[in-house]
């Protein structure tokens, strides 16, 4: 298809304009025929693409043309950047680059981060030997988070952004699961596992952290496995979910290799950023 010789337009239709931002629907038209569309949300000079629908997603030229015009929109609106999230919904697509991603890689878009979201049958997972094996010696202990003393809580609070990033703050939650645990080494707090209810029958394992000098995969798995075992023994909640960031290669390799028998759902999200 020779797009250069044809009448190509990216039509913007305002959907919402407020002091906090604006939303528009963008349609790529070629000779009056719509070939793709999306919603562009703009807040504080930053854009976010939602509801992306390119009618021929395997057509490289069409994808390339769509995002070339998107870059022009960004310049016209004086945006600092635009974010685009690409979703892959099967593990069979791991490592594969979609045509859209191939197209934007030839332009000014860069992969900013990626993450994989898992949903497991926790009851089946708890029976797996690699989860149930205890990798901790007697210097380590796992206790309920409620056993933290006032002094320990204060030490953890003072350690934020020093020995753990604020993302892993164990006190950021309004409510937590009863199987939220703390890991100690010779009586000193070195990590925790925080859970919270995601829905009636799904528990989210949102915060698994072990101090850098004590971290290894086996200790993290022992902490997680203890929490999962408590869930299965003390509640009727069957399913668990958690997110793994794309740079956590060791854990992702284990999950992809060992969890096929009890994985219920999976999604990989890749966040791209337009560099202007």
DSSP state of 165: -
Q: Is 39 helix (H, G, I), strand (E, B) or coil?
A: strand
Tokens of 264: 């219920």
Helix (H) or strand (E) holding 11: strand 8-18
The helices-and-strands tally (H runs, E runs) of the chain is 7, 12
Q: How many domains does the chain have?
A: 2
Rounded Cα gap, residues 243 and 256, in angstroms: 13
CATH assignment at residue 17: 3.40.630.30
Is the residue at 271 inside a domain?
Answer: no
Helix (H) or strand (E) holding 142: strand 140-144
Domain check: are 72 and 133 in the same one?
no
**Listed residues 85, 107, 129: the one ending a domain:** 107
Tokens of 149: 């003393």
Is the residue at 274 inside a domain?
Answer: no
Rounded Cα gap, residues 9 and 146, in angstroms: 60
Is the residue at 30 inside a domain?
Answer: yes
Domain check: are 153 and 176 in the same one?
yes
Domain check: are 147 and 28 in the same one?
no
Helix (H) or strand (E) holding 222: helix 217-234
Is the residue at 272 inside a domain?
Answer: no
**Listed residues 107, 133, 149: the one ending a domain:** 107
Domain check: are 162 and 251 in the same one?
yes
**Listed residues 49, 83, 107: the one ending a domain:** 107
Please state the rounded mean pLDDT for residues 122-135.
Answer: 95
Please state the rounded mean pLDDT for residues 133-152.
Answer: 96
Is the residue at 158 inside a domain?
Answer: yes
Domain check: are 123 and 260 in the same one?
yes
Share of the chain above pLDDT 70, in %: 96
Which domain range does residue 262 map to? 119-266
Rounded Cα gap, residues 229 and 179, in angstroms: 9
60-74, 78-92, 179-193: least confidently modelled range: 78-92
- Number of neighbouring beta carbons within 10 Å of residue 102: 12
Rounded Cα gap, residues 196 and 241, in angstroms: 10
Domain check: are 80 and 133 in the same one?
no
Domain check: are 91 and 137 in the same one?
no
Please state the rounded mean pLDDT for residues 85-93.
Answer: 80
Domain check: are 68 and 140 in the same one?
no
Is the residue at 275 inside a domain?
Answer: no
Work out the burial of residue 186: count CB atoms within 10 Å of its CB; fewer than 13 is exposed, 13-18 middle, 19 or more buried: exposed
Residue with the two structure tokens 């007697």: 138
Q: Contact, 117 vs 254, CB < 8 A?
A: no
Domain check: are 95 and 127 in the same one?
no
Residue (of 201, 225, 52) closest to 142 by Cα position: 225
Domain check: are 93 and 138 in the same one?
no
Q: How many Å is the Cα radius of gyration of the chain?
A: 23
Domain check: are 84 and 123 in the same one?
no
Supply the pTM of this predicted model: 0.84
Give the pLDDT band of residue 250 (cuts 50, 70, 90). confident
Give the pLDDT band of residue 1 (cuts 50, 70, 90). very low
Domain check: are 41 and 153 in the same one?
no
Is the residue at 113 inside a domain?
Answer: no
User: Is it the case that residue 137 has pLDDT exceeding 90?
Assistant: yes
Whole-number Cα distances in Å, 270 to 99, 192, 255? 14, 27, 18
Give 145-198 pLDDT, tens digit per residue.
999 999 999 999 999 999 999 999 999 999 999 999 999 999 999 999 999 999
Is the residue at 123 inside a domain?
Answer: yes
């Amino acid at each position: 298809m020779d797009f250069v010789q044809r009448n190509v337009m990216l039509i913007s239709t305002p959907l919402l304009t407020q002091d906090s931002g604006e939303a528009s629907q963008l349609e790529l038209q070629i000779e009056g025929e719509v070939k793709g569309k999306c919603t562009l949300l703009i807040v504080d000079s930053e854009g976010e693409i939602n509801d992306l629908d390119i009618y021929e997603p395997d057509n490289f030229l069409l994808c390339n043309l769509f995002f070339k015009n998107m870059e022009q929109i960004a310049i016209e609106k004086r945006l600092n950047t635009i974010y685009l999230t690409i979703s892959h919904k099967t593990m069979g697509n791991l490592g594969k680059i979609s045509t859209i991603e191939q197209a934007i890689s030839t332009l000014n878009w860069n992969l900013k981060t990626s993450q994989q979201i898992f949903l497991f049958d926790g009851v089946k997972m708890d029976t797996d030997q690699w989860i149930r094996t205890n990798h901790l010696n007697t210097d380590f202990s796992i206790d309920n988070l409620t056993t933290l003393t006032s002094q320990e809580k204060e030490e953890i609070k003072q350690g934020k952004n020093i020995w753990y990033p604020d993302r892993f703050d164990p006190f950021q939650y309004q409510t937590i699961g009863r199987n939220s645990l703390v890991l100690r080494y010779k009586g000193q707090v070195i990590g925790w596992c925080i859970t919270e209810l995601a829905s009636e029958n799904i528990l989210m394992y949102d915060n698994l952290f072990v101090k850098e000098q004590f971290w290894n995969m086996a200790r993290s798995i022992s902490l997680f496995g203890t929490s999962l075992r408590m869930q299965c023994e003390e509640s009727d909640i069957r399913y668990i979910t958690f997110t793994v960031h794309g740079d956590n290669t060791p854990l992702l390799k284990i999950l992809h290799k060992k969890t096929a028998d009890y994985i219920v759902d999976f999604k990989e999200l890749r966040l791209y950023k337009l560099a202007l």
